[in-house]
Amino acid sequence: MLRRLFTSPSRPEQAFGRIFKNPVGLAAGYDNDVLAWRGLACLGFSHIEIGTVTPHPQDGNPRPRLFRLVEDRALINRLGFPGRGADFVARHLDYPRPPDLALGINLGKNKDTPLEEAARDYLDLVRIFAHLADYLAINISSPNTVGLRRLQGRKALENLLRVISKERESILSNNPEVRRFPILVKLAPDLTDEELDDALEVIIGSGMDGVIATNTTLRREGLFSLRASETGGLSGSPLLPLSLSVVKKIHRFTQGKLPIIGVGGIFNADGVQAMLDAGAVLVQIYTGLVFQGPGLVKQILNAL
């Protein structure tokens, strides 16, 4: 019934070696524990990104931790990767899914894992989800896990992506039944140009398959809501110009050779088209769905 209600035009896009039925996906953070994806899939998304998933269950940050900034059409969250852990998610993923839906898994380290041991968490997650996901996303850019964004630094990122790349090759060589799974890296919008260039050089050099740009921002310029002073990551309309700028820089730096999923502040078809024009091959929404409701994907695709 839901599928019929939200049926929308097909607008195929090719990325990461597969065809997506349209460019619009659901960003990570909406369904951390893979409990809602079947219903969400009926809304017309071409892909849904589950997570962020951590190796072990954790509560996340203390409540309240999610705030709606109505005047700014924005959210601030400081969730901190709450979830039931990788084993729970894996058990609930190992079921048939619609053939026209791609599932990505967004991977993050546990809060109590020391930063110098973060690679261990990511490697455990890659091993668990290699055969269950259509792509994996390495989340090193959430502002709500202490120190996590330091993994975007050149040296730390080189060390992390080198072992992840080696682990992928080991999985593929030892498991012929597992097809090659794309690995993307999700970056923050708050990197300087030099930091972004360094990160992109590492991502390309380590053989990663793409970038998700961007995560939430710590910036607060131009906000009107009384909630603007809450700590955490800001998403929604104020993020769109910043995310667009990052997507353009990535596209220019990589000469369009590194696929980009554009995320941040998309509320309508104009936002989607702006992301595609900036160089993204796919887009994701989150806060737009919260404010605009379940018909947003259909509205976007009808207007593109």
CATH of the domain at 228: 3.20.20.70
Cα(63)–Cα(226) distance, integer angstroms: 18
Predicted confidence at residue 241, as pLDDT, reads 98
Per-residue pLDDT at 187 exceeds 90: yes
Instruction: State the angle between helix axes of 193-205 and 154-174 in degrees (0 to 180), rounded to the nearest 10.
Output: 20
Total number of domains constituting the chain: 1
Predicted confidence at residue 1, as pLDDT, reads 61
The H or E element containing residue 105 is strand 102-107
Per-residue pLDDT at 2 exceeds 70: no
- Is residue 142 among the annotated active site residues? yes
Q: Which domain holds residue 262?
A: 2-303
Per-residue pLDDT at 197 exceeds 70: yes
pTM for the predicted model, two decimal places: 0.97
Comparing CA positions, the residue from 129, 201, 198, 140 lying closest to residue 167 is 129
State the catalytic residue, choosing from 46, 141, 142, 206.
142
Overall average pLDDT of the 26-41 stretch: 94
State the sign of the Cα–Cα–Cα–Cα dihedral 165, 86, 97, 48.
negative
At 236-289, the pLDDT tens digits run 999 999 999 999 999 999 999 999 999 999 999 999 999 999 999 999 999 999
- By 3-state DSSP, what share of the chain in percent is helix, strand and coil, each rounded to 5? 40, 20, 40
Cα(150)–Cα(180) distance, integer angstroms: 28
Band the pLDDT of 8: cuts 50, 70, 90.
confident
